[in-house]
């Protein structure tokens, strides 16, 4: 089946064609380990996990490389602000090396809780300083750099395609030239490749280089390490949408300038922001929730994973506790339904997909089609709900289908068996209660059709107060017992 992905370079959905058949080389920007990852950061890493799982599901062999930024960089992408690593080290009275080690460990503890698969290769910036120096030397030899104020800068005027990813035009670049940010820069969008004149006294993380003792600019590390492990050209580069205008734009410029090869990356994929009260999740803005905090509030990491599955990765997702509660209830109900399914016997397992009925095979084709359509996880979840509710499917077929879907969802549904006391489902409720709920859903659908949203919301609230959570899907509205009172 043809895989289609939204390529940020060109801003369109394209058929995915890797450089080498059945092999995908993928690089993802990793964490900057000066603080805990917030749940907005983790949404991006969940997206990348789903991408790798989907590629594997569709038959590709994936080499997934992710960096760890353990070299402090500035708080602003434009080489401005305060060094994040040094700031945290000073506040906690530790060395920046100790800070990096502590938060790297914390990051992988979070990803393990979220069932995010570890990349094929994890590379630390501090272990690749010589690769970065070699890249700067190559750029210098090719005439793309200048030195000013003791630092080495990339000259964007020497790279005509600069800003292509972010759709920056020459007029915008010229207008930006009138804004004075760094007096050493010829153009405010020029960026530092190597700092020898640190903005901070007693900089702890420094290395010897041909230009003097110093440290690399932030954008340099991803270019150097991706080339080391994936070559001069590869298939997919991922990150958050906030990386588009500066970080990824600068990566493209310095890499293609150094190698003379274009395109450096065939497909650029970016996850959208997680919002809280109309603001993006951000440490600097104060909208900062960690996975540990969600656990303290009574939610599991799998509740948050399920919450993120409910929105397309290119859609801004608004976080509220009410929305997380709904995801928690829906996940519990799905787990309950799956948990009541009998396990497959050995013969069924060996027979596998070949023994499925035509209807079951159609569900499988439909799910695969939705995944291949730019990772449409909401539709994939709707397929899972349809499978567990379909009374025409054999229980073992449901089990097999859900197990296959869960290789992408990563929710632990494959061999899940619910404890007897947790096996709550619609079928176990009083038929009269079920009938009344269905009638109220019909009333709500009619209200929405007539644009009487106030009535529709009141019906939702009424049912919620009775322990019923409504779930709106492309196929219609379903419901789940949300509270133990039923």
* Binding-site positions for Zn(2+): 29, 222, 247, 251
Write out the DSSP string of 275-338. EETTEE-BTTTTB--BHHHHHHTT--HHHHHHHHHTS-TTS-EE--HHHHHHHHHHHHHHHHHH
**What is the rounded CA–CA span in Å between residue 76 and residue 189?**
13
| 145 and 139 Cβ atoms separated by less than 8 Å | yes
Who's near 451: CB < 8 A, 6+ residues apart?
none
| 217 and 193 Cβ atoms separated by less than 8 Å | yes
Task: State the CB neighbour count (10 A cutoff) for residue 86.
Answer: 19
β-partners of residue 26 are 64, 236
| 240 and 271 Cβ atoms separated by less than 8 Å | yes
> If we measure between CA atoms, which residue out of 11, 9, 271 comes closest to residue 164?
9
**What is the rounded CA–CA span in Å between residue 260 and residue 336?**
56
Q: Specify binding-site residues for ATP.
A: 283
**What is the rounded CA–CA span in Å between residue 486 and residue 480?**
11
| 25 and 230 Cβ atoms separated by less than 8 Å | yes
β-partners of residue 459 are none
Q: Specify binding-site residues.
A: 29, 222, 247, 251, 283
Q: What is the number of H-type helices and E-type strands within the chain?
A: 16, 18
Task: State the CB neighbour count (10 A cutoff) for residue 328.
Answer: 21
The phi, psi pair for 256, rounded to 5°, reads -70, -30
Classified as helix, coil or strand, 83 is strand
Who's near 243: CB < 8 A, 6+ residues apart?
29, 270
Helix (H) or strand (E) holding 371: helix 358-372
N- to C-terminal Cα separation, the chain: 43
| 390 and 383 Cβ atoms separated by less than 8 Å | no
> If we measure between CA atoms, which residue out of 317, 204, 223, 321 comes closest to residue 264?
223
β-partners of residue 65 are 27, 121
């Amino acid at each position: 089946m043809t895989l289609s992905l939204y390529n940020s370079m060109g801003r369109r959905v394209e058929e995915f064609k890797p450089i080498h058949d059945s092999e995908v080389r993928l690089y993802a920007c990793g964490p900057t380990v000066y603080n805990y990852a917030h749940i907005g950061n983790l949404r991006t890493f969940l997206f990348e996990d789903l991408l790798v799982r989907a590629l594997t599901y569709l038959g590709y062999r994936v080499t997934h490389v992710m960096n760890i930024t353990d070299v402090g960089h500035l708080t602003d992408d434009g080489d401005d602000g305060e060094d994040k690593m040094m700031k945290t080290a000073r506040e906690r009275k530790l060395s920046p090396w100790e800070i990096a080690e502590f938060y790297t460990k914390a990051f992988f503890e979070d990803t393990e809780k979220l069932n995010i698969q570890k990349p094929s290769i994890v590379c630390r910036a501090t272990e690749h300083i010589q690769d970065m120096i070699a890249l700067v030397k190559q750029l210098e030899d090719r005439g793309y750099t200048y030195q000013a104020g003791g630092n080495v800068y990339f000259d964007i005027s020497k790279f005509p395609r600069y800003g292509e990813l972010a759709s920056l035009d020459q007029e915008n670049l010229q207008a930006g030239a009138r804004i004075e940010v760094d007096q050493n820069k010829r153009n405010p969008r020029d960026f530092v490749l190597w700092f020898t004149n640190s903005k901070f006294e007693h900089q702890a993380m420094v290395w010897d280089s041909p230009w003097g003792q110093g440290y690399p600019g932030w954008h340099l590390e991803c270019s150097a390490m991706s080339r080391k492990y994936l070559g001069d050209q590869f298939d997919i580069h991922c990150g958050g949408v906030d990386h588009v205008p500066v970080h990824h734009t600068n990566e493209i410029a310095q890499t293609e300038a150094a190698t003379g090869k274009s395109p450096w990356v065939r497909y650029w994929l970016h996850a959208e922001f997680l919002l809280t009260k109309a603001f993006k999740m951000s440490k600097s803005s104060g909208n900062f929730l960690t996975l540990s905090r969600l656990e303290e509030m009574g939610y599991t990491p799998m509740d948050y994973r399920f919450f993120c599955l409910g929105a397309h990765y290119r859609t801004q997702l608004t976080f509220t506790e009410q929305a997380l509660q709904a995801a928690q209830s829906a996940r519990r109900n799905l787990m309950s339904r799956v948990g009541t399914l009998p396990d497959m016997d050995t013969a069924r397992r060996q027979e596998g997909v070949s023994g499925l009925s035509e209807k079951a095979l159609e569900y499988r084709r439909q799910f695969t089609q939705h995944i291949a359509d730019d990772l449409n996880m909401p539709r994939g979840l709707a397929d899972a709900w349809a499978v567990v509710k379909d009374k025409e499917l054999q229980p073992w077929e449901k089990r097999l289908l859900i197990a296959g879907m869960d290789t992408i969802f990563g929710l632990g549904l494959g061999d899940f068996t619910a404890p007897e006391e947790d096996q709550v489902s619609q079928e176990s409720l009083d038929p009269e209660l079920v009938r009344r709920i269905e009638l109220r859903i019909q009333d709500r659908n009619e209200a929405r059709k007539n644009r009487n949203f106030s009535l529709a919301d009141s019906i939702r609230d009424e049912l919620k107060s009775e322990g019923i959570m409504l779930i709106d899907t492309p196929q219609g509205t379903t419901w789940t017992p949300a509270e133990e009172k039923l």
